[in-house]
Amino acid sequence: MPADIRSFFGGKTNTPIREKESKKEEDSKKKRSKSRKIIDDSDDDEPAPPSKRATPKRAPPKNAVKKESPKGEETSTADYFAMSSKAKPKPAKSTPTKPKAVEPIESNGRSSARKKTTASYSQPKDDDDFAFLDDDEDAGDDIFAADVKKNGKHKDDAYVEVDSDDEPLPKPKKTSTKSKSVTNKKNEDVDMKEVGDDDFVVPDDSDDMMDIDKPVTKSGSKKRKSVDLESDEDKDDITPAAKSSKSKSAKQPPAKKPRAPKKNEPESSAVRAILDNIPTVRPPTPPPQDPDHKFDWRKAGAGGGNAGPPPAAGSKEIPVGEENCLVGLTFVFTGLLETLSREEGQELVKRYGGKVTGSPSSKTSFVVLGTDAGPSKLRKISDLKIKTINEDGLLALIRTMPANGGDGKAAEKNLEKKKAELEKIKKEAEEMEREEKSKALEAKKAEKERRRLAAEKGIAPPPPTIRQPDPSSQLWTSKYAPTSMNQICGNKGQVEKIQNWLKGWAKAHKYGFAMKGPEGLGGYRAIIVHGPPGIGKTTAAHLAAKLAGYDVLESNASDTRSKKMVESGLNEVLNNNSLLGYFAGDGKKVDEHKKKIVLIMDEVDGMSAGDRGGVGALAKVCKKTDIPLILICNDRKLPKMKPFDHVTLDVPFRRPTVEQVRSRIATICHREGLKLPPNVIDALIEGSNKDIRQIINMISTAKLDQTAMDFDKGKSMTKAWEKHVVLKPWDLCQKLLGGGMFAPASKATLNDKIELYFNDHEFSYLMVQENFLKTKPSLIGQLNGKEANLKALQLADQAAESISDGDLVDRMIHGSQQQWSLMPTHAVFSTVRPASYVAGLVQSQIAFTSWLGNNSKMNKLLRYVKEIQSHMRLRSSGDRHEIRQQYLPVLWTRMIKRLEMEGKDSVDEVIDLMDSYFLTKDDFDYMMELGLGPQDQENVRLETQTKSAFTRLYNARTHPLPFMKASNVVAPAKMTKEVPDLEEAMEEEDDEIAVEPKEEDDDETDLKKDKYIKQPKVKKQAAERKAAPRKASKTKAKNDDEDDEDDGSEDVKPKKAAKPRGRPAGAKGKGKK
Amino acid sequence: MALLVDKHRPRSLDQLTYHKDLSERLRSLAQSGDFPHLLVYGPSGAGKKTRIVATLKELYGPGVEKIKIDSRVFQTTSNRKLEFNIVASVYHLEITPSDVGNYDRVVVQDLLKEVAQTQQVDQSAKQRFKVVVINEADHLTRDAQAALRRTMEKYSPNLRLILLANSTANIIAPIRSRTLLVRVAAPTEGEICEALERSAGKEGWAVAKELNARIARESERNLRRALLMFEAVHAQNEKVSDKTPIPPPDWEALIGQVAKEMIEERSPARILQVRAKLYDLLTHCIPPTTILKTLTFKLIPQVDDALKAEVIKWSAFYEHRIRMGSKVIFHLEAFVAKFMRIVEEHLMNMDF
């Protein structure tokens, strides 16, 4: 109670003040808007549940009373405002019943209300008091009454404003519609009586009032704005209007039924009945907010877990509703619906003219609730008391709602809006035409003048110079390029910024760009405009330059802009003035102000390989240019745009909103005689991602063969025009495995799925293979426990088998046969078919394929094995598989395990073993890496001491090398010592080393490459050099002892630098010593 | 210090312990002066290479044992540089053309011609021809084998070929008809035990007969493997007895683990875990067919008898696919999925 009372008083106090203000200062819009806001707030409070409940019959009488008292004064208001509308209202009011009371409030009441309010605001109080006395029984009543009163007042305020606004505006239609609605309302009133439960009626009233207040005030204020500007702010007007209508509907949800009565139209009963009959759903109570709850980006990224396909997709038939039947209703989707995916549901609503917003607000008419609804949304729903329906409700709504939303209020509002919109569009179109005509006229005049001049001078009239291109032959994009600030769609602030910068440029230049100025505009010689394509960056730059009185020089990607060109080419330009400041064409006046030039560098990020150094040079130019420079690019964040970082002023352009684009497109359509319903335009805009240029091109194309377009056509057109985005492997995989493509309801054809594969045919199948086991297949259905597991295994097996089939096809494509025509087959086997089995919910992050990494790792390790094998080759006969599978495990235990267990004591022996197999230190590391399972590198714990001892000892000793591999040149750093004489040394070595007679011969017929020979020199230590001769002598002695067989080989040797051999020998010799 | 396998490798035909008649035949061939082209085939670890080396020694004397590795660079028609290692002595060359994969034809053509066109440099050599030993001849591509055909005839005065292969299946008929086929059968378990004992004797190790027999059995009559296992057992145990377990090689241990995981739990999530291990095996250069075979034989004892035939069937099926396809993991994984499905279905049926 107390709270209510508070609001009661507060509301009252507010309202009177407001009213006064509004009256006094009708001109000062700001204040009004403020007051309006306040009203809104109060409105929001008012609909609070208690008041609804209270709704006794008594309230209506109060209303009536209230209204009546104001009405007495109405006459004056009537005089004040448009006559037509008032005339009707009054009669309506005169009917004493409650319903009547409602009427006045809505339609006519507004005008009169203002005055009333001032005068009457005390009155209502009295009434209340009175009521209070009367109805002690129910306190709620009073409150309610108060509410009503308040509402009435607010309403009144709003209306006053509106009317006053309307007057200046030449909008006959609006008024007419209003009057119409009034009459309707009258009728409705009657209906209401008949139909309505009284209980409902009361709340209705309050709701209605509130609703009306808001929308009207808003639209009114806007209108005013538009008037001021005198230009058409249609867009803005429209959007608010739309909002207002929505807001209306939005309000209703708390008390659903009221909304129908609100409309007060004959059909409203029907609509109301429909709305009443829509099964509502009780939203689950939102879970308590957890303060510690952390935002999980992973979940959020996946659409909150609700992005998946609906569980029972396609099991319900989607009804075909009347056209635009959801007009004026706003929907919010939350949770996972039963049969519709989120996108499908939203598209459905849009198709029938409804609006979809992301989160529930007071303007939401319905929340379509699914399972797992977001907690924050649920909280909001319960806070705002929004009506919630489920999927069936939505379908029922579509099935039953009459065309154009019936004559429900929302629909009506919508109609009104549309009309106003149309009006503006027409006006704009006219203006455009006028402009065109005047241009043509001017051109003609100039031509005439020229001829006259020529005639005067006695010269034959020169042939008509460049003729103005015929507008009908122009591309629409240039034909309808904005010619004034208010024609620009979106980014107005940015364009103004550019304009201001240009205007202040001369001054800033004078101050050497030291004075930054309020927006920092004075500190830059150049600006960089960046944003996505098709939103009018170039156009805006040109327009701003034109408006600021600059002559434009443009350079774009079609010009070569290398460093040299930029430096030399631009320098010429930079010191120049425009010729237009000094000369003009025949018959035109020289414009003194036209000396200024602005250089527009378009598509700066298009400076590519051919424009080497261009970016840097341009950035340099930006630092010292004497004419303003506007750079334009799409992506400012590219690394190559870095040079512009502190040199230029960033002017980011954003995509315009749908509203900003809509009216412009509508104007063009009107002008060209193309009929596009607003929802089609919206679909086009959204479908093209707000690329204005593309939309204009699209309608231009459409105009060629049709004069109207419906929703489906528009959709298919945007689809056809869709910029072909190549999906990333992740998105591909997500779409295939988790996108519901294989749901029974999915309309995706086999070709669509194959197309996905071709988005990236090198990765798509690998990604599918990587991730196909990470889903919860929807084919499992309702099974659980063991059966589910079995089904999952069966599906996984089928998918895996299909992938295996796919690999065979892959082999035919990439193998020796090169049958590229099999690609679609591969697509089906490797990607589509497996996905068809396991598609469902993707349960973890889509991972990048590990095949590539593993493959390259395998190649690396394979190289290691080969290296090891080639080193061991002189000792062992196995091929590399045998080496890997049989030798390595044993060698591992004999080397690595031993080092691990026995520490540094074993180092010597290990190195001996390695030398006996000609293994290098690198091979040792390779062996570590090749360990697997129990011998995994991870599990090997070599003590650092052992390790360092091993390294030290290994480096200290010399090692035999059977040969040197070109790729390996770096590795044998140790061996550097020997010079030519070693050869002999090695032979003796061989004998010593090998117990067996397997000696290595150096008799290569071909000289080893120089690299081998050089090797020793690079790193030799002097000491070792000295050692060499000694060894040599020793070896010689031994040589003599050696068998005859060696002779042959020895003969050959001297020529070849048998370095490798030499080293081993040297090493051994050393070791011996 | 080398491992036993290499330390105790027989160096001449006399020292070979089994297939005595084969040794005799090789000796007479070598002494006949009319040495034919040979195609020596047999399972790995049977002693092919050892016999060849011994035969070469018989042909040329101890000079063949002075070998070195020569690194050569070949250029393919597409200007790709191939690095290729040749093991050579004055009298012979030993090459493994399969090292360069698909380019083996280039190597075979260039190298053999080069060798064949020069005569024996060493005038005192016992034979006028040089011998080229081609390892892994069954991995030669068709093209390379075709390139061999003509060379074998045209250059026979200067060149003899010895082809080494695991089986003759992949060798084209024209080559087979131009060579003398020599089959080196795997040693029997008894012969392996004998060899093990001899090695143990040379090393002064105690002999555990039971253990040796076990090793012989486990080695699948592969003498190389047997010797290495023998060495591994001794390396890991101070004292060996008949009961000493034989440590499996690392990869086999891992495959055992995979098999255990597959039996334990059957679910898509488990397939993912198994996939990781399979990748591990593959990247560490364990051939996919070996993996599949080992895995199958580890699985077989653990499944119901009714399933064994089917498991084998699918194993064979996917082994074939591994050879047909290019990305082996796909097929290994498909086998794992298939196995789990079969087992799971079987168990479910038993439940009902």
Structure confidence at residue A410 (pLDDT):
64
> Nearest CA of chain B to the CA of A252: how many Å?
50
Candidate ranges A588-602, A722-736, B180-194; pick with highest mean pLDDT? B180-194
Q: B284, A861: Cβ pair inside 8 Å?
A: yes
End-to-end, the C-alpha distance of chain B in Å comes to 62
Please give the full DSSP string across A318-360, using - where no structure is assigned.
PPP--TTTTTT-EEEEESB-SSS-HHHHHHHHHHTT-EEESS-
Q: B236 in contact with A at a CB cutoff of 8 Å?
A: yes
Q: What is the DSSP letter of B21?
A: H
Given an 8 Å threshold on Cβ–Cβ distance, is B341 in contact with A793? yes
Q: Which CATH number fits domain A269-284+304-407: 3.40.640.10, 3.40.50.10190, 3.90.1150.10, 3.40.50.2020?
A: 3.40.50.10190
Question: What H or E segment, with its residue span, contains residue A544?
Answer: helix A537-547
Decide: helix, strand or coil at residue A842.
strand
The residue among B138, B163, B183 that closes a domain is B183
Mind giving me the DSSP string for B254-317? HHHHHHHHHHH--SHHHHHHHHHHHHHHHHTT--HHHHHHHHHHHHGGGS-HHHHHHHHHHHHH
Mean pLDDT of chain B: 88
Cross-chain residue pair B68–A1000, CB shorter than 8 Å: yes
Residue A249 neighbours by CB distance under 10 Å: 30
Strand partners, A1039: none
Lowest mean pLDDT among A175-179, A417-421, A869-873: A175-179
Between positions 10 and 49 of B, the ones with CB within 8 A of A are 11, 44-45, 49
- Measured in residues, chain B has a length of 352
Mean pLDDT of A86-100: 43
**Burial bucket for residue A312 (CB in 10 Å: 0-12, 13-18, 19+):** middle
Looking at the domain assignment, is residue B242 inside a domain?
no
Q: Using a CB-CB distance cutoff of 8 angstroms, which residues of chain A are in contact with residue B250?
A: 888-889, 892, 931-936
Q: Is A816 on the interface with B (CB under 8 A)?
A: no
Same fold? A269-284+304-407, A488-654: yes
Percentage, residues of chain A above pLDDT 70: 54
pLDDT 10s digits, A910-957: 888 888 888 888 889 899 888 888 888 888 888 888 888 888 888 888
Q: Looking at beta carbons, which residues of chain A come within 8 Å of B321?
A: 804, 807-808
Contacts of A829 in chain B (CB under 8 A): none
Per-residue confidence (pLDDT) for residue A710, from 0 to 100: 76
CATH architecture group of domain A488-654: 3-Layer(aba) Sandwich (3.40)
Q: State which residues form the domain around B198.
A: 189-236
pLDDT tens column, A877-919: 788 888 888 888 888 888 888 888 888 888 888 888 888 888 8
Q: For residue A662, which of A421, A875, A470, A896 has the smallest C-alpha distance?
A: A421
Task: Look at the alpha carbons of B136, B141, B144, B149 in this order and tell me if their dihedral is positive or negative.
Answer: positive
Q: Domain segments of chain A: what residues? A: 269-284+304-407, 488-654, 726-848, 853-956
CB within 8 Å of chain B, chain A residues 929-958: 930-936
- Report the run of H or E that residue A161 belongs to, with start and end: helix A139-166
Q: How far is Cα A142 from Cα A134, in angstroms, rounded to an integer?
A: 10
Is B213 touching A (CB cutoff 8 A)?
Answer: no
- A319: tokens are 């009804």
Q: Which residues of A545-611 form beta strands (DSSP E)?
A: 551-555, 597-601
Between A389 and A1028, whose confidence is greater?
A389
Query: Is B9 at the interface with chain A, CB within 8 A?
Result: yes
Mind listing the pLDDT tens digit for each residue in A1030-1044? Answer: 444 444 444 444 444
Q: For residue A842, list its beta bridge partners.
A: A775
Whether A996 sits inside 8 A of B11 (CB atoms) is yes
Determine which of A327-331, A1028-1032, B87-91 has the lowest per-residue pLDDT on average: A1028-1032
Beta-bridged to residue B86, according to DSSP, are: B70
DSSP A291: T
Catalogue the E-assigned strands of A480-537.
526-530
- Measure the CA–CA gap between A190 and A196, rounded to whole angstroms: 10
Give the mutation candidate from A737, A787, A807 for the B interface (greatest B CB count, under 10 A).
A807
**B82 touching A (Cβ < 8 Å):** no
For residue A305, pLDDT beyond 90? no
Return the CATH number of A726-848, one of 3.30.2130.10, 3.40.50.2300, 1.20.272.10, 3.60.70.12.
1.20.272.10
User: Is there a contact between A407 and A184 (Cβ–Cβ < 8 Å)?
Assistant: yes
Pair B229, B264 in one domain: no
The SS3 assignment for A627 reads coil
For residue A553, list its beta bridge partners: A599
Contact status of A1048 with chain B (Cβ, < 8 Å): yes
Average confidence (pLDDT) over A393-401: 77
CB pair distance less than 8 Å for A884 and B285: yes
Confidence grade of residue A1045 (pLDDT, cut at 50, 70, 90): very low
The region of weakest confidence among A128-132, A526-530, A646-650 is A128-132
How many CB atoms are located within 10 Å of the residue B117 CB? 10
Q: With bands split at pLDDT 50, 70 and 90, how would you rate the model's confidence at A368?
A: confident
Nearest residue to B332 (alpha-carbon basis) of B298, B300, B269, B287: B287
State the average pLDDT over residues B142-169: 87
The string of DSSP letters for A235-287 reads: HHHHHHHHHHHHHHHHHTGGGHHHHHHHH-STTHHHHHHHHHHSPB-PPPPPP
Top-ranked range on mean pLDDT: pick from A37-41, A533-537, A554-558: A533-537
pLDDT of A122 reads 41
Write the burial class of residue A199 (CB in 10 Å: 0-12 exposed, 13-18 middle, 19+ buried): middle
Res A137 pLDDT > 50? no
Q: How many residues make up chain A in this entry?
A: 1073
Residues linked to residue A598 through DSSP beta bridges, in sequence order: A552
SS3 label, residue B86: strand
Compute the average pLDDT of residues A291-313: 50
Mutate to test the interface with A, among B11, B71, B352 (most CBs of A within 10 A): B71
* Residue A375 neighbours by CB under 8 Å, 6+ apart: A286, A287, A289
pLDDT of residue B22: 92
pLDDT at A1012: 41
Chain B positions touching A938 (Cβ under 8 A) are none
Q: Do B348 and A773 touch (CB under 8 A)?
A: no
Q: Largest Cα–Cα distance of chain B, in whole Å?
A: 84
Instruction: Say which range, A425-429, A899-903, B162-166, has the weakest mean pLDDT.
Output: A425-429
Of B69, B254, B279, the CB nearest to A963: B69
- How far is the C-alpha of A109 from the C-alpha of A67, rounded, in Å? 8
Kind and range of the H or E run holding A378: helix A375-384
Q: Compute the average pLDDT of residues B73-91.
A: 83
Which phi and psi angles does B265 have, rounded to 5°?
-135, 140
Shared-domain flag, residues B111 and B82: yes
Q: How far apart are CA A42 and CA A11, in angstroms?
A: 6
Asked if the C-beta of B62 comes within 8 angstroms of chain A's C-beta atoms, the answer is: yes
Cβ within 8 Å, pair A803-B2 = no
pLDDT confidence of residue A66: 44
Interface test with B, best of A765, A771, A845, A932 (most B CBs within 10 A): A932
- Asked if A971 has any chain B CB less than 8 Å from its own CB, the reply is no
From the list A797, A866, A1006, which residue is nearest B337 (CB)?
A797
Mean pLDDT of B310-327: 93
Whether B245 is covered by a domain: the verdict is no
A908 contacts chain B (CB < 8 A): no
- Per-residue pLDDT at A968: 39
User: Is the CB of residue A675 less than 8 Å from the CB of residue A708?
Assistant: yes
The residue written with tokens 């009298």 in the block is: B91
Residue A1: its pLDDT value, please? 45
- Among A858, A876, A1002, select the one facing B5 at the smallest CB separation: A876
Instruction: Inform me whether the C-beta atom of residue B350 falls under 8 Å from chain A C-beta atoms.
Output: no
Interface of A with B in 981-1000 (CB under 8 A): 990, 995-1000
> What whole-number distance in Å separates Cα of residue A129 and Cα of residue A146?
10
CB A1001 within 8 A of CB B67: yes
Top pLDDT among B33 and A723 is at B33
**Which of A196-205, A291-300, B26-35 has the highest mean predicted lDDT (pLDDT)?**
B26-35
Who's near A1051: CB < 8 A, 6+ residues apart? none
| Least confident stretch, A75-84, A738-747, B177-186, B187-196 | A75-84
Backbone angles phi, psi at B85, to 5 degrees: -100, 135
Nearest residue in chain B measured CA to CA from A1061 = B68
Same domain, B125 and B59: yes
Residue A269: per-residue pLDDT: 63
Residue A739: pLDDT band with limits 50, 70, 90: confident
Q: Which residue has the higher pLDDT, A336 or A808?
A: A808
Cross-chain residue pair B65–A887, CB shorter than 8 Å: no
Bigger pLDDT: A132 vs B4: B4
Give the residue with greater pLDDT, A591 vs A193.
A591
User: Is the residue at B217 inside a domain?
Assistant: yes
**pLDDT tens for each residue of B325-335:** 999 999 999 99
Q: Do B68 and A935 touch (CB under 8 A)?
A: no
Max avg pLDDT among A432-446, A566-580, A676-690, A831-845: A831-845
Question: How do B92-95 and B81-88 pair as beta strands?
Answer: antiparallel
Token pair, residue A553, equals 């020089």
Interface residue of A1045, A1047, A1051, A1061 to substitute, partner B, most B CBs within 10 Å: A1045
Beta carbons of A65 and A151 less than 8 angstroms apart: no
* Listed ranges A163-167, A349-353, B44-48, B118-122; the one with the highest mean pLDDT: B44-48
Identify the pLDDT of residue A482. 81
Q: What does the DSSP assignment read for B131-169?
A: EEEETTGGGS-HHHHHHHHHHHHHTTTTEEEEEEES-ST
Q: Is the CB of B268 less than 8 angstroms away from the CB of A792?
A: yes
Are A800 and B330 in contact (CB < 8 Å)? yes
What's the domain count of chain B?
3
Question: Which tens digits make up the pLDDT trace of B31-77?
Answer: 887 889 999 999 988 989 899 999 999 888 888 888 888 888 888 88
- Judged by CB atoms within 8 Å, which residues 487-506 of A form the interface with B? none
Q: What is the mean pLDDT of residues A98-118?
A: 42
Residue B24 pLDDT greater than 50, yes or no? yes
Task: Tell me the three state secondary structure of residue A331.
Answer: strand
Facing residues of A368 across strands?
A333, A389
Question: Which residue on chain A is closest to B333 by alpha carbon?
Answer: A800
Q: Output the domain CATH number for residue B81.
A: 3.40.50.300
Paired residues of A777 in beta bridges: A840
Q: What is the CATH number of the domain that holds B286?
A: 1.20.272.10
Nearest CA in chain B to A931: B250
Element (H, E) at B72: strand B68-75
Give A876: exposed, middle or buried? Use CB within 10 Å, 0-12, 13-18, 19+: buried
Residue A1032's pLDDT is 42
CB distance from A1050 to chain B under 8 Å? no
CB contact under 8 A, A1001 and B136: no
Give yes or no: residues B111 and B204 share one domain: no
Question: Can you read off the two tokens belonging to residue A355?
Answer: 């609006």
CB A110 within 8 A of CB A65: no
Examine the pLDDT at A407 and tell me if it is beyond 70: no
One-letter amino acid identity for A239? Answer: T
Task: Look at A933 and B231 and tell me if their CB atoms are within 8 Å.
Answer: no
Pair (B143, B13) in one structural domain: yes
- Which A positions 791-810 lie with beta carbon below 8 A of chain B? 792-794, 796-797, 799-801, 803-804, 806-808, 810
pLDDT for residue A512 is more than 60: yes
Q: Answer whether B122 touches A (CB < 8 Å).
A: yes
pLDDT, residue A276, reads 66
| Interface contact B273, partner A, CB < 8 A | no
At residue A118's C-alpha, the angle toward residues A113 and A119, to 5°, is 95
ipTM above 0.90, yes or no: yes
Q: Tell me, yes or no, whether B171 and B42 share the same domain.
A: yes
| β pairing state of A551-555 and A387-389 | unpaired
Give the least confident one: A389-393, A824-828, B164-168. A389-393
Nearest to A794 among B282, B287, B341 (CB): B341
Rounded to the nearest integer, the mean pLDDT of chain A is 66
- Indicate if B306 and B212 belong to the same structural domain: no
- Find out whether A718 and A676 touch, Cβ atoms under 8 Å: no
- Cβ–Cβ gap A877/B99 under 8 Å: no
Q: What is the pLDDT of residue A241?
A: 41
- Low-confidence winner among A338-342, A431-435, A1046-1050, B208-212 (lowest mean pLDDT): A1046-1050
Whether residue A912 contacts residue A843, with contact meaning beta carbons closer than 8 Å, is answered with no
| Whether residue B110 sits in one domain with residue B34 | yes
Both B41 and B115 in a single domain? yes
Nearest-angstrom CA–CA distance, A569 and A555: 11
Residue B69 DSSP code: E
